[in-house]
Structure formats: C-alpha cells, structure tokens
Structure 1
Amino acid sequence: MAIFAYLRVSTEEQTTDNQLKEIKEKFHITPDYVFAEHISGSVAAKRRPVFLEMIGKMRAGDILTVTKLDRVGRDMIDVVTTIRELTDLGVTLKCLQLGDIDPKTSVGRLTLGILSMVADFERDLIVERTKSGIARAKAQGKKLGRPKALTDKMVLKIRNDAAKRMNISQIARENGLSRRSVKRALEQAIKE
C-alpha cells in the first residue's frame, strides 16, 4: 500500500507548498508519491497529464490524498466519475477538507455528491461575479485586457531604426525587445 499526494494549482505563479505541508502533517509521503501540476481547475481530471501519470502508477490498496475535493475534478460529474474510477481501481480517496469519507459506502457517495454539487454551485457564482465585474468595468469605460507591449514612442523608434537599414536582430538587441515584438511593430506599420 502506498500513499499518494495529488497537488494542483491553476497558474505557474501559484505554489503547491501549502497543500504538500497540509498533507505531510497527516501522512508520511515519500517524494516519489507526490504529484503536482499547474493546470486550471476547469480541465477535467482525465485531461490532466500529471494526474493521469499518477493514476497509472496506483494499485489496489493505495490511498490518494488531496487537500480539497476540487483538486480531483472540475465539476460534480467529473469529481463523481473520478472517485468511481478510483474506487474501481481499489484506491481510497482521503480528502483533508472532508475527513474520512468512504466512497464505497452509500453514505460516502451521497456526501461526496452533495459536496460536489456545492463546489459546482460555488464555481458558478464565481463565474457570475467575474462576468458582472467585467460588465461594470466596461460600463465605467475602463480598458480591459493586456496593456500594449510597445508604446507609440517605442514603435516610432523601431520604425526609424528600420529606416536606417538596421536588421530586426539589431533593433531588438538595441531596444531590449524580442525579435517578435519588432516584427509585429514593423508589420503594423505596413498595414497602416
């Protein structure tokens, strides 16, 4: 029997350190059984490369530990399906947020189903609030999205450098830019 830890965060800027710390407080886990990935929670469990790699190494009698139920799937259907598949493999799920819930029992399945629905509802509320915030910002005239990579002054300098017969690599190096940024500025000049 091995104890696996699955850690997930949505972005590269986030870290799984706290999840690992929480799990290590409850279970002795060796580094070979810790699987962490940076992938959006909106991606189904079956489409997460690290999750699939971990499942491929699990055997009957193993335990999968997660800090929260939303680490296991993206919505109610995904969570329930993943738990069923783990149960069919003979793998027990330990979710620190919930305590010991045995998905092999009818009460355990009911509890997981209700909690999955609550998590799904919470995610829907977050999406609604985000959309509402974006609409409000647009109505207030705020600019959304990424700021321009190059200022108008920088674009003018790139065009002047190109007019002096400097090549793209020289312009990029001299201005501390990528070749792609220089090309984009020059392509935009041609369109205008």
Structure 2
Amino acid sequence: MSRVFAYCRVSTSDQTTENQIIAIRQAGYDVPKARVITETISGGVMAMERPAFKAMVQHKLEAGDVLVVLKLDRLGRDNIDVQQTIQSLISKGIGVISLDLGKHDLSSSEGKLMLQIFSAFAEFEKSRIKERTMAGLERAKSEGKTLGRKTVIDLAKLQQLKAIGLSQSAVSKNLDVSLTTVKRYWNK
C-alpha cells in the first residue's frame, strides 16, 4: 500500500496552511501529521529551490508514494516549473494528485492528458512572454531609449581624472564609485 504525503504552501507568514490540510483530509486523504509537509515561501520560487519541498522529494518520497496538493498552484506559479516538477515526480514512480483537478492522479492516462494540455499552455505562455519582451525592446529602441545597464559614472570626468594622472583607486574615491566600476570604464 502506498504512503500518502500532503504538500501545503503559503506565501506569507500571516497566512496558514491549516485550511489546505483540512481540505485534503476532508477529501478522504488521511495523511499522518509526519507526512504533511508545510512551507511558507513564495510560489515564484522554483519548487526544487524550496527547502521543505526539496527535502521531501529527496529524503521522504519513494516510488509508489502519492503526493496530494489542494491546488496545482501550490506547486508553483510558473507553469513550466510545475510541469517539470510533476514530470520529475512521476518519473520517480510518485503519484501526484491535485484536488482542484477532480482528484485525478496526474500519472494516469487522464492526468497525462491534462499535463500535455498544461504543457501546451505553458509553451504558449513562454512564447507570448518572449514576443512581448521583443516588442517592448523594439519600441524602446525606436523611441531612442538606451537599453541595458545605466552608466553610474560620469565617463567624461573619469577620462579627465585619468588624463591628469590619477590612479584608478584615486578616481574611484574622487567619483565616489567602486574601484570595480572605475576598472570597467577605464579604457572606454
């Protein structure tokens, strides 16, 4: 018989995972307290970069186990990361159930279909983000905006100080910028 784990996540310390735990148990998953993994961390943090989630995957979950989440967004906000996380769990023989998807085991035929649909949307989302970024860059260029990092140093002043023989360290102090910044622009 497989062991059941629950992963419950909230984004801020003024929130609680208690409602998620209650909902999972009310859905018929009697998860022992030791197998309820809770975490307070942003959904924007990649799943395997979250300490509690990573520890659960690496040290607790085994092939044949089932991981239950209240909603798919508990695994993360980034569709691509969620897809990769689920695929990784399934490849290790771990079942994934998201209650907001009608209790479908995402490793079943129906679940795999849902994952393929989500993957298509994730790929579409990724493409749209790239298109919007490129359009924004083109618009900025056409408006004459300088792209990239802003210069934090007065280049003319740097060249004047260099011309009168000041060292890079002295120029750094004179312009009140780091020595690294002076070195970056020294020969420009």
TM-score under structure 2 length normalisation: 0.58
Q: Quick one: structure 1 residues 29 and 81, their matched pair in 2 at CA, closer, same or farther if it must change by over 3 Å?
A: same
Cα shift at 1:72:
1.4
Structure 2 distance, partners of 1:28, 1:105, is: 21
Aligned partner of 1:165 in structure 2 is: none
1:16 matched to 2:41? The reply is no
Calculate percent identity across the aligned residue pairs. 45
Are 2:96 and 2:107, in contact at CA under 8 Å, matched by a contact in 1? no
CA contact (8 A) 2:7 2:36 kept: yes
Letter paired with 2:13? E
Alignment of 1:124-139 (within 5 A): none
Q: Distance in 2 between matches of 1:105 and 1:67?
A: 18
Aligned to 1:32: 34
SS in 1 for 2:63: coil
Q: Which residue of 1 aligns with 2:69?
A: 66
User: How many angstroms does 1:76 deviate by?
Assistant: 1.4
* 1:5–1:104 CA distance, 2 compared to 1 (3 A): closer
Q: Distance in 2 between matches of 1:113 and 1:83?
A: 12
Is the CA contact 1:76–1:113 (under 8 Å) kept in the aligned structure 2? Answer: no
Note the aligned Cα RMSD (angstroms).
Answer: 2.2
Contact 1:45 1:74 in 2 (8 A): no
Deviations 1:87-124 (A, max 9, x none): 01100011111123343355423313434748x97xx9
Checking the alignment, whether the CA contact within 8 Å between 2:95 and 2:105 is kept in structure 1 is: yes
Aligned residues: 121
The answer as to 2:54 corresponding to 1:52 is: yes
2:84 is aligned to 81
Q: 1:157-176 maps to which residues of 2 (within 5 A)?
A: none
Unpaired runs of at least 5, structure 1: 125-192
Q: Please tell me the residue identity of whatever aligns with 1:6.
A: Y
Question: Residue 54 of structure 1: CA displacement?
Answer: 1.0
